[in-house]
Structure 1
Amino acid sequence: MPAVEPPNWKTDGLNNYRQNVQPEGEFSAPDLTASLFPRCEGPYGLIARVRNIGQAAVPAGVTVGFYEGDPDMGGVKLGEGTTKKALYPAEAEDVAIDVPNPSMALTDGSTPVYVVLDDGMPEHLWQECRTENNKVAGSGYCVMPG
C-alpha cells in the first residue's frame, strides 16, 4: 500500500472525480430476454414479450426474429419485427408477427418456436451485458376451446 494515495485525476481509469456517477451505474448495460406465446384469436401469429432485465436502457429498433425450430439447427425463419420504443430497466414491449398458413407442427406444439433478440446483430452503439439469453424457445400451440 502506498504511503501517499495517488491523485484520482492522475490515475488511468480513475479520473472520475466530477462525473457524479454512482460506481455501480458507470458501466451499466441493457440485458434483453423474451417470453414467447401464440396469438390464437383472429389471424394466427406469434408474440414475443421483449423485456430489459439489465441496468441501462436500450433504444427502439431492436430486431426480433421468429423461427420454426432452432435457428442454429436449420430452423425456418417465419418473420421478424422490431421494438418501437426505448426499453428502460424492467420495461417490456410486445412484438408480434402474423404467420399465414402455419404448419400443423407449429400450431400443435410438436415443433418449438424460437425468438432471437437482436437477430443478425446489426451494428449499433449499445452493447448488452449478456447475449446468451437472447434466443428463447416456446410453443406455438393454441388450446382449442371446448
Structure 2
Amino acid sequence: MVEVHVADSEVKREDAFAVRHTVFVEEQDVDEELEYDTHDETATHFVAYDGDEPIGAARLREYEDDIGKVERVAVRTSRRNAGIGRALMERLEKQAEAIGFDTLTLHSQTQAADFYRTLGYERRGAEFEEAGIPHVEMRKSLE
C-alpha cells in the first residue's frame, strides 16, 4: 500500500532526493546543479513509499503571498500510471491548505499537463523551456 509522508526527517528527505535524482538527473538528463537549489532548504518535501521503498517525491514552497508553488513532482518509471502522482498531489494540496495557501502554481512538463488538468489545474500562457524541457504554467484555486 502506498503512503505519502511529509519528509520531516533527514532519512525521508534523502529518500525524496533519491527519487528526484533518478527521475530528473538520470532519466531526463537534467543538470544536477539545476535540480537541487536553495529552495530545498525551506520547502516542504513529500515522499511516497510502497512499504519501505521510496517511489515518488514532490516539494511545496511559498511563491507569493497566499500562493504556493508545486515543484519537483517525480514518480519512478516503474510505478507511473498507478495513482502515485495523484496521491502525492492530494497530500501536497492538503498541506498547502493547512499552511494557508489560496492558490497553487506549477510549471508542468508539457507531456504531464493533462495529468495536472485532471486535478483541476488550468494552463496559463504559452509553452516555455526550463532545464531544456518544454513546460507550461498551470494554476489551481484551493478556495
Give the TM-score normalised by the residue count of structure 1: 0.27
As a proportion of its length, which structure holds more strand? 2
Structure holding more helix per residue: 2
Higher relative contact order (CA 8 A, sep 6+): 1
